[in-house]
């Protein structure tokens, strides 16, 4: 087996292991994030203001940031 072929094979194996590890870690994190206590949920809604609807857009109001 030549040296470049050996290096390419090792790189392919490492890339496969990294892909499998990424899938396993992502799958584990997604199931743990959905279980949020009521206190955490209330704090999140208070911080991000996701509990209340957005105010209506007034006639003629622009939809871009005012920087």
User: Each residue of 3-24: pLDDT tens digit?
Assistant: 999 999 999 999 999 999 999 8
Tokens of 19: 């892909």
Cβ burial 23-59 (10 Å sphere, 16+ → b, else e)? eeeeeeeeeeeeeeeeeeeeeeeeeeeeeeeeeeeee
* The model's pTM: 0.43
57-67 residue pLDDT tens: 777 777 777 66
């Amino acid at each position: 087996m030549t040296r470049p072929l050996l290096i390419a094979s090792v790189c392919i194996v490492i890339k496969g292991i990294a892909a499998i590890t990424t899938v396993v870690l992502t799958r584990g994190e997604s199931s743990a994030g959905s279980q949020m206590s009521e206190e955490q949920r209330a704090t999140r809604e208070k911080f991000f203001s996701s509990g209340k609807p957005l105010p209506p857009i007034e006639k003629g109001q622009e939809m871009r940031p005012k920087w």
